[in-house]
Structure 1
Amino acid sequence: MSLAADRTDTTARPAEGPRDLRLAALTKEFATFTAVRSLDLTVPAGTFFALLGPSGCGKTTTLRMVAGLETPTSGTIHLGDRDITWEKSYRRPVNTVFQNYALFPHLDIHENVAFGLRRRGVKDVDQQVQEMLELVELESQARKKPPQMSGGQQQRVALARALINRPEVLLLDEPLGALDLKLRRSMQIEIKRIQEEVGLTFVHVTHDQEEAMTMADTIAVMNGGVIEQMGSPTELYENPQTTFVANFLGQSNLIAGTVASAEGDVVRVDMHGTQVSIPVDRAHTRTGAGWVGIRPEKVLVAPAGEPIDAPGNHMTGGVVTDVSFVGVSTQYLVRMPWGQELMAFEQNTGRRKILRHGAEVDVSWRPEFAFLLPADQDVRAGAFEED
């Protein structure tokens, strides 16, 4: 924890109860670039909110402005009716948990958690510390020092030290980035459990799509200092509104097509000679060219001529060009007659043998799983790996 994070002023607690965090036209300009561009955002009190995006998208700068560690160029930050835009960081009812934990190595866990309360002159802190250690399931580790603990345990100590100050908003800046994959996944569940138990507003910054989808009630996908799309994990994954969201949040097949008709609740698209259907609420353009999108796990593959249980959008003439067995599923690349390779993920249920490389196949998907994006969007946007 930083000193600022430990010195949260809790004397001005709101009488009206939990308050929404509101950012209005928030902008941060540096000498050579603009990190955050006129950002409008409301985080409802008591929710788990994630800012998701690649490095340099503005998510950490946004978090630091809320924490008071960066000064906005313009715009405002409110907690309910309280304007905290220009307040000192230690006067804000906000705490931050950082990736490196920043625990005091010479203090035991009890005293690390107690540090903020003791600094403010709070008496009889032991009971509060005990309650926090019970919350993070570390009560038996109270007299150990940080170097004696695992990364996951240190992360829970950092959470306890932040939460004991009773902040209205807890900011988490890539808090699981230093952990290995297995531990990171278990900590995702643990942090979500803690948030639900304490009922505070958590704002979590991450570049990890799985982490955001596992933990957050609402995700805002950031790109180039602005929010591309915001909604529940299911909404963003199933119905992305931009190619960036479609590619960054998971993987997508994006196939060129031209709108043939838009009537009633269905948009029909000519896609390389095959007409496919898109539900109107998943069609983000209604005329001209577009990108037909379908997630790989929604694509069904079968040997050529065999029936596929996915009526509506059916294409023939595919050839398997790559087969990857990954345990729970098999991942295929299928080259279609127009030259594009489509991804298909098939769960390994044992229903049939794995298709071989070079097999001739048909592919299909149910129309209700497809989406349509404007053709003027970059089909490659968001399709890259984080370092």
Structure 2
Amino acid sequence: MSQVDEVLHQHRERAQTRDLRLEGLTKEFASFTAVKALDLVVPTGTFFALLGPSGCGKTTTLRMVAGLETPTSGRILLGDDDVTYTKPYKRPVNTVFQNYALFPHLDIAENVAFGLKRRGIKDVKGAVAEMLELTELSTQATKTPGQLSGGQQQRVALARALINRPEVLLLDEPLGALDLKLRRSMQVELKRIQSEVGLTFVHVTHDQEEAMTMADVVAVMNGGVIEQMGSPTELYDNPRTTFVANFLGQSNLVAGEIIGVDGDVVKADMHGTTVSVPRERAHATSGKGWIGVRPEKVLIARTGERIDAPGNHMTGAVVTDASFIGVSTQYRVRMAWGQEITAFEQNTGLREVLAPGTPVDVSWRPEFAFLLDASQDVTAGLGEV
């Protein structure tokens, strides 16, 4: 067994059954409450994302776990160990910040070795070499941070944190300083490293794509509380609130009157058309509701033409805008009742782009719809960053 394999095995053995648990965690500042009685379990070995707009409480939560903020009330536990008031340097937790906080006067190997040397460990050469190999930095060991790209600097920060064998690695907007192409590349790299080391990663971000790409579990935060938590697929396909529907991707939300439950579906009257929603996607069963469907699930065709895989079917619509965005065309369509909805159509080349002014029929398969309580603000989550 190589030294890095032994280190990773020790990580996994040590971390077994030691989930990170937040119980009633609250942080109050003079003028507002940043985090409100938060209950949360982060399973051992998962890539966990705290996703939300600026000011939602995600970074404050991360800082409390790191020991950089003291909770007003509640507890932070690793397994059975209460670390709520443990000094930051005594917690089995390390943090990678957006600015990386590397030492500019030390070379890469010395930056990575810093934590071990600070703990009085003298023989660090082998461990440093293994961590540089894990983060694909072996050829950069003698360079200084200023000679590296942003993505390479982030890998140095990761290696420096991982070499300390934390049970939990906290990532505070770690990709925010990178350009789009590099950021997407590093999303893959971060997930690869997390999979290899098997540690618990808690990643704070406002970027929906980042969270969806990397995380096993995503918790969407808003106003100091968690709106919904689950796998990226679950949150995207079956949002439980208008905030999650609007913040995580795009949604069309249309007002309707719920007719009632009919077997495994809930039926609703949507401006004169009876539409069906799967029971497990219906988060209201009476009164008024918001019928939701993602833009890529909306099918359109010239009025009277056949729609592939038709479902809930509406006539009398017209294209108001068509934007070619490479892999797909984004349409804005004004429905017969006056509301504009969005449809994404893959650019397969099977037909020409429909020009604004084209009369169209609109359809979506019932199994792709969801239903939310109309008491929720239909604009919640729109324009949040």
Consecutive unaligned residues in structure 2, runs of 5 or more:
1-11
d(CA) in 1 for partners of 2:174, 2:162: 14
d(CA) in 2 for partners of 1:15, 1:192: 21
Q: Which residue of 1 aligns with 2:217?
A: 218
Q: Which residue of 1 aligns with 2:99?
A: 100
- Asked if 1:74 is matched to 2:82, the reply is no
The CA deviation at 1:264 is 1.2
The CA deviation at 1:311 is 2.9
The letter of the residue matching 2:123 is: D
Q: Which residue of 1 aligns with 2:183?
A: 184
Q: Identity, % of aligned pairs?
A: 78
Given that residues 16 and 44 in structure 2 are in contact (C-alpha distance below 8 angstroms), is that contact kept between their aligned partners in structure 1? no
Q: Which residue of 1 aligns with 2:167?
A: 168
The CA deviation at 1:18 is 5.0
Q: Which residue of 2 aligns with 1:309?
A: 308
Q: Which residue of 1 aligns with 2:151?
A: 152
- Asked if 1:249 is matched to 2:252, the reply is no
Q: Which residue of 2 aligns with 1:3?
A: none
Residue 118 of structure 1 aligns to a residue in which SS? Answer: helix
Q: Which residue of 2 aligns with 1:337?
A: 336
Given that residues 258 and 288 in structure 1 are in contact (C-alpha distance below 8 angstroms), is that contact kept between their aligned partners in structure 2? yes
Q: Which residue of 2 aligns with 1:258?
A: 257
Q: Which residue of 1 aligns with 2:381?
A: 382
The letter of the residue matching 1:175 is: P
The letter of the residue matching 1:352 is: R
The letter of the residue matching 1:209 is: Q
CA, structure 1 residues 312+14, in 2 after alignment: closer, same or farther (shift >3 Å)?
closer
Which aligned segments of 4 or more residues in structure 1 are displaced greater than 6 angstroms?
Answer: none
d(CA) in 2 for partners of 1:30, 1:226: 16
The letter of the residue matching 1:68 is: G
Question: How big is each residue's C-alpha offset from its partner over 1:75-103, in whole Å with a ceiling of 9 and x where there is no partner?
Answer: 00000000000000000000000000000
The letter of the residue matching 2:308 is: D
Residue 182 of structure 2 aligns to a residue in which SS? Answer: helix
Residue 72 of structure 1 aligns to a residue in which SS? Answer: coil
d(CA) in 2 for partners of 1:125, 1:261: 67
The CA deviation at 1:337 is 1.1
CA, structure 1 residues 271+164, in 2 after alignment: closer, same or farther (shift >3 Å)?
same
Question: How big is each residue's C-alpha offset from its partner over 1:256-291, in whole Å with a ceiling of 9 and x where there is no partner?
Answer: 000112121011110000010000000000001000
Given that residues 290 and 375 in structure 1 are in contact (C-alpha distance below 8 angstroms), is that contact kept between their aligned partners in structure 2? yes
Question: How big is each residue's C-alpha offset from its partner over 1:328-361, in whole Å with a ceiling of 9 and x where there is no partner?
Answer: 0000000011110010000000011110111000
Q: Which residue of 1 aligns with 2:61?
A: 62
The CA deviation at 1:15 is 5.8
d(CA) in 2 for partners of 1:141, 1:329: 40
Given that residues 15 and 167 in structure 2 are in contact (C-alpha distance below 8 angstroms), is that contact kept between their aligned partners in structure 1? no
The letter of the residue matching 2:247 is: F
Q: Which residue of 2 aligns with 1:318?
A: 317
Q: Which residue of 1 aligns with 2:267?
A: 268
d(CA) in 1 for partners of 2:204, 2:83: 20
d(CA) in 2 for partners of 1:43, 1:222: 15
Given that residues 25 and 40 in structure 1 are in contact (C-alpha distance below 8 angstroms), is that contact kept between their aligned partners in structure 2? yes
The CA deviation at 1:309 is 1.9
Consecutive unaligned residues in structure 1, runs of 5 or more:
1-12
- Asked if 1:23 is matched to 2:8, the reply is no
The letter of the residue matching 2:111 is: N
Q: Which residue of 1 aligns with 2:367?
A: 368
The letter of the residue matching 2:149 is: S
Q: Which residue of 2 aligns with 1:358?
A: 357
The CA deviation at 1:66 is 0.2
- Asked if 1:36 is matched to 2:35, the reply is yes
Residue 292 of structure 1 aligns to a residue in which SS? Answer: strand
Given that residues 18 and 46 in structure 1 are in contact (C-alpha distance below 8 angstroms), is that contact kept between their aligned partners in structure 2? no
Given that residues 277 and 312 in structure 1 are in contact (C-alpha distance below 8 angstroms), is that contact kept between their aligned partners in structure 2? no
d(CA) in 1 for partners of 2:54, 2:267: 37
Given that residues 206 and 212 in structure 1 are in contact (C-alpha distance below 8 angstroms), is that contact kept between their aligned partners in structure 2? yes
Residue 193 of structure 2 aligns to a residue in which SS? Answer: helix
The CA deviation at 1:312 is 2.7
CA, structure 1 residues 259+199, in 2 after alignment: closer, same or farther (shift >3 Å)?
same
Q: CA RMSD in A?
A: 1.2
Residue 268 of structure 1 aligns to a residue in which SS? Answer: strand
d(CA) in 2 for partners of 1:174, 1:128: 27
Q: Which residue of 2 aligns with 1:292?
A: 291
Given that residues 15 and 44 in structure 2 are in contact (C-alpha distance below 8 angstroms), is that contact kept between their aligned partners in structure 1? no
Residue 22 of structure 2 aligns to a residue in which SS? Answer: strand
CA, structure 1 residues 16+252, in 2 after alignment: closer, same or farther (shift >3 Å)?
closer
The letter of the residue matching 1:148 is: Q
